[in-house]
Every structure is written in C-alpha cells, then in structure tokens.
C-alpha cells in the first residue's frame, strides 16, 4: 500500500509546512496548523484546458513589454437590472472577474445572486449548487416569480465534473454556491479544508481568466465574521463583497471590502421581502423614522457611504447612573469614538457625563463609520442631557476634534443637496467648509460654526 502523504496548513493564511509548527512563520499566529492529506492523483486529467472555449482569448507569447506599449481598452462589463449591485461592483460585472460574496447564514446571498441571474435573460448563466437540490432552487425561483430560459442548474461538488459540464454548456456567467462545498480530485482531503478551498478557487480563477467568463463564489463566514478558509482566498479573487444586516431588520447592506475594478467604499442597500430582495433607491427616507412629536435625544446626520449621500437618524439616551460604574452602550457606532466625544464634551463644555449612563443607537440597524456623524451624535447627547428636543428640519455634518472644534468634511455639496431634497430647512456644517461653497445655489439655510460651544448656544 502506498503511504498517504500529508502536510500541515495554517488556518489563518494557508502557509504549508511538512511538520507541525507552533507559530506560523508567515502570519505569526499561534496554534493554527492542521494536518491534511495532500496525495495528488496524477491520473485525473485537469479540467481547465479552455483552448476551444467560445470566449477564450488568443494565446499570447510571454515576454517583457514596456508599460507605454501596452494597449488598454475599457474592460467589458455586464450590466444587470440590479443597480445596487452595479454600483458596488464599480459599474457592472467585469468579464473574466472572480467575485467572492460572503455573509452570515440566511442573510440572503443565494437569493440575491439567483434573483439577479434570473433577470439576465440575454446571457447564459450556470448556477452550481453544492448545498441545495434542484427542486429547492426551483422552489426559491418560483417565490421570486422570475423565469429565464437561459438559466441552468448543476448540483455537483466535484470540480472535474463541473468543468466537463461547463465545456458542454459554455455559459456567459457562473455562480458557485458555495466554494466551501467544492472538492477537487487532485487533493485527497475533505471538502471545506484549507487545501481544497485553495485548489478549487485556483481552478475557477484559471477558468475565469482564460475564458473571460465572470465567476461568483459564495463563501461561508466563521463565527468571528471572517470568510471561512485561508486568507489567500481573498487575495486570489478580484472583488470581495460582504452581505450584512441584522436578521431582525428588513434591510440588507452589500459592502465592498476589495475591488480591483472600482471603489472599495461603495455600498448597496436592499430590503428583504417575501418575493426576494428589493432595491432601496432612496435609503434616506427609510433611515429617518417618522415621529408624531419631537423627542429629545434624536438628531439627523448627513453622512456619505462611498459616492452616495445618506441621511441617518442618531438616537442618544443620557440617564443618571444608579451603579458605581456608568454604562457606555452603542449600536451601530464605534464605542471608542463615543468615549472620545464624551471626553470632549466634559473637558471643553463642562458637561458632567462621568456620572451618567450613555446609550447611542443608529436607527435602521446600520453600522456607521463616517466621522461626519460626530456632530449629530454630540447634538443628540446634548439634547438628551438637557431633555430638550432639537428644532425640526435641521441636520448636521461635521467631525469633532479633541479641542472641541468642528472640522470640515468631504463632499459637503452632496450632503447639502440630499438634505435639501428631503425637505430640511437648515444644515449645520463646519465654518471651514465655507471655502468654495456657494450658498446661493441652495434653498436650504447653511449654518457654519467652528466650535461645539457655538453649536450648543445656537441650539439651546
């Protein structure tokens, strides 16, 4: 009997070693090596020969070439009916791109891609599923109320069998659900192991690049929120999309973590309905709650997510602490950033937050990282502290510094235009944003202030 060959792989970065190591020499993580079988079967023919594929580019000779001699043409893109997905990908699906979509179980990854593929009736799409049967996928398609004669299914986990069927069908786009269920006969380890994920992803990468066919890989995530498998998987693909949201809320956010063909700061917003994902074209109206009366502790922030302006509601609650240590609780905002703002208010404004419990929430289940929300959070805190509601139809856009100054933010014109479009009458910005800002272009009143104390005097 031939001896089984094994190797040790780092679960963090995919580094390969012939023996077990306590510390990975590549990523310096401890106790991350696991043993896997790597006996390769040379009798299995590699299924990635694409010489006769319909979109295969001509084989070119490998040689050194000057950058100035490179002929560049704009990359060919497939435009879907999903404008949110087009925006996140940088303007459509690039031919030959490899896109990894990650997210929690049940968040809607498969539903989103199935819905978008069913709408592409001019392109032949192959949906490869290693997790669901054909009747299950048909049942979901019926729920989405979409039909497409150019949409094909394949329930298979062996990549060799998958590529044989791809050669027969020759699709324009391929979706793999999920990469953790795929298994290559070239590797003896089980599906989902580090070596299998790396090998199968490399096979799909070679197929995408040599044929110019876009491939979507759906990926599982770990309990820490990271995409399962070695980190090299994210390096191999062209684009990494994160589908996130609270399952108790109807809204889902598609974020870009990596994109070789566009911006990494774009996001798309969807609403989960019984008939699939509905694109949210104007999220500002949904993220601002409709109230019958003005209550204290609520402020509207004019933030930016990529190139898209968003008006979001910030809620704050300041109460007297009944325990020895005051609580600091946040939802959708950075806790350290909140502590910084509280320190600024205590030092520069003289407000005694040290004996208060402070709770901050971003309405709608959003997770906000834009520093321009600082001013809205400060005003919401002061409103709850004084138990006085802020004036109606006023919003805020400004970053707060450690000296209590209101710092300028980028793309202030787009923020002002969005606030005006939604019917706001005033917007408070930094006085340093006044340079180059023509107030006559807007019907909304622009209030430019420089310090937190000035904002307090203006509002209260």
Whole-number pLDDT of residue 41: 52
Contacts of 431 (CB under 8 A, 6+ apart): 406, 448, 449, 450
Whole-number pLDDT of residue 45: 44
CB 113 within 8 A of CB 129: no
**Token pair belonging to 170:** 């020759």
Q: Which of 331, 303, 330, 305 is nearest to 399 (CA)?
A: 303
Q: Which of 378, 374, 376 is nearest to 386 (CA)?
A: 378
Which pTM does this prediction carry? 0.75
Contacts of 114 (CB under 8 A, 6+ apart): 127, 137, 140, 141, 144, 175
Q: Write the DSSP symbol of residue 227.
A: B
Residue spans of the domains in the chain: they are 6-37, 77-280, 285-459
Whole-number pLDDT of residue 57: 54
Give tens-digit pLDDT for 186-235. 887 888 888 889 889 999 999 999 899 999 999 988 887 788 877 888 98
- In the sheet with 298-305, reading across from the earlier edge strand, the strands are 328-331, 356-362, 308-320, 298-305, 394-397, 426-430, 445-449
Annotation-wise, does 276 bind a ligand? no
Residue length of the chain: 460
Annotation-wise, does 109 bind a ligand? yes
Give tens-digit pLDDT for 158-174. 999 999 999 999 999 99
Residue tagged 């139809």 (tokens): 393
Give tens-digit pLDDT for 326-365. 899 999 899 999 999 999 999 988 888 888 999 999 987 7
Whole-number pLDDT of residue 46: 47
Whole-number pLDDT of residue 42: 46
CB 4 within 8 A of CB 39: yes
Bridge partners, 407 (sequence order): 399
Check for a shared fold between 77-280 and 285-459.
no
CB 401 within 8 A of CB 345: no
Dmax of the chain from CA atoms? 85
Annotation-wise, does 90 bind a ligand? no
Whole-number pLDDT of residue 400: 95
Whole-number pLDDT of residue 298: 92
Distance CA(309)–CA(417), nearest Å, equals 9
Whole-number pLDDT of residue 43: 41
CATH assignment, 77-280: 3.40.50.300
Contacts of 204 (CB under 8 A, 6+ apart): 98, 159, 174, 176, 179, 215, 217
Q: Name the architecture of domain 285-459.
A: 2-Layer Sandwich (3.30)
Distance CA(167)–CA(261), nearest Å, equals 27
The list of the chain residues with pLDDT below 70 reads 1-4, 39-61, 246-248, 290-293, 436
Annotation-wise, does 354 bind a ligand? no
Distance CA(200)–CA(446), nearest Å, equals 55
CB 356 within 8 A of CB 321: yes
Phi, psi dihedral angles at 33 (to 5 degrees): -90, 135
Annotation-wise, does 104 bind a ligand? yes
CA count, 13 A, side-chain hemisphere, 217: 31
Distance CA(98)–CA(206), nearest Å, equals 10
> Would you give the end-to-end CA distance of the chain in angstroms?
85
Residue tagged 């594929």 (tokens): 53
């Amino acid at each position: 009997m031939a001896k089984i060959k094994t190797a040790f792989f780092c679960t963090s970065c995919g580094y390969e070693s012939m023996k077990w190591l306590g510390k990975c020499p590549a990523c310096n993580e401890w106790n991350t090596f696991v043993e896997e079988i790597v006996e390769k079967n040379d009798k299995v023919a590699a299924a990635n020969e694409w010489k006769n594929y319909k979109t295969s580019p001509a084989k070119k000779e490998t040689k050194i070439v000057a950058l100035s001699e490179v002929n560049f043409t704009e990359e060919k893109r497939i435009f879907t009916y999903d404008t949110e997905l087009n925006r996140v990908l940088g303007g459509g699906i690039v031919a030959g791109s490899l896109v990894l979509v990650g997210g929690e179980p049940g968040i809607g990854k498969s539903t989103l891609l199935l819905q978008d593929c069913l709408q592409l009736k001019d392109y032949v799409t192959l949906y490869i599923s290693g997790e669901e049967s054909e009747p299950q996928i048909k049942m979901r398609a019926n729920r989405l109320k979409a039909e497409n004669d150019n949409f094909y299914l394949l329930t298979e986990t062996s990549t060799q069998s998958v590529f044989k069927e791809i050669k027969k069908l020759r699709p324009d786009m391929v979706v793999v659900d999920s990469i953790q269920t795929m298994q290559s006969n070239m590797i003896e380890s089980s599906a989902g192991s580090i070596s299998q994920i790396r090998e199968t992803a490399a096979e799909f990468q070679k197929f995408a690049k040599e044929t110019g066919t876009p491939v979507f890989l759906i990926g599982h995530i770990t309990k820490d929120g990271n995409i399962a498998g070695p980190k090299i998987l994210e390096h191999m693909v062209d684009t990494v999309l994160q589908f996130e949201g609270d399952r108790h809320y109807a809204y889902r956010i598609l974020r870009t973590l990596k994109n070789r063909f566009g911006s990494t700061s774009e996001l798309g917003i969807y609403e989960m309905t019984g008939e699939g994902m509905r694109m949210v074209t104007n999220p500002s109206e949904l993220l601002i709650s409709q109230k019958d009366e003005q209550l204290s502790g609520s402020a509207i922030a004019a933030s930016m997510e990529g190139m898209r302006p968003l008006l979001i509601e910030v809620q704050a609650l300041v109460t007297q602490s009944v325990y020895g240590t005051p609580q600091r609780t946040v939802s959708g905002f950075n806790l350290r950033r909140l502590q910084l703002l509280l320190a600024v208010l205590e030092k520069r404004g003289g407000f005694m937050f040290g004996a208060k419990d402070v709770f901050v929430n971003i309405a709608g289940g959003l997770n906000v990282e834009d520093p321009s929300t600082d001013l809205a959070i400060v005003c919401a805190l002061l409103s709850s502290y004084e138990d006085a509601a802020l004036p109606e139809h006023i919003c805020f856009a400004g970053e707060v510094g450690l000296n209590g100054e209101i710092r300028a933010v980028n793309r202030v014109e787009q923020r002002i235009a969005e606030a005006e479009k939604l019917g706001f009458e005033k917007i408070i910005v930094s006085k340093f944003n006044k340079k180059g800002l023509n107030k006559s272009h807007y019907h909304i009143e622009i209030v430019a202030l420089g310090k937190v104390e000035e904002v307090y005097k203006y509002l209260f």
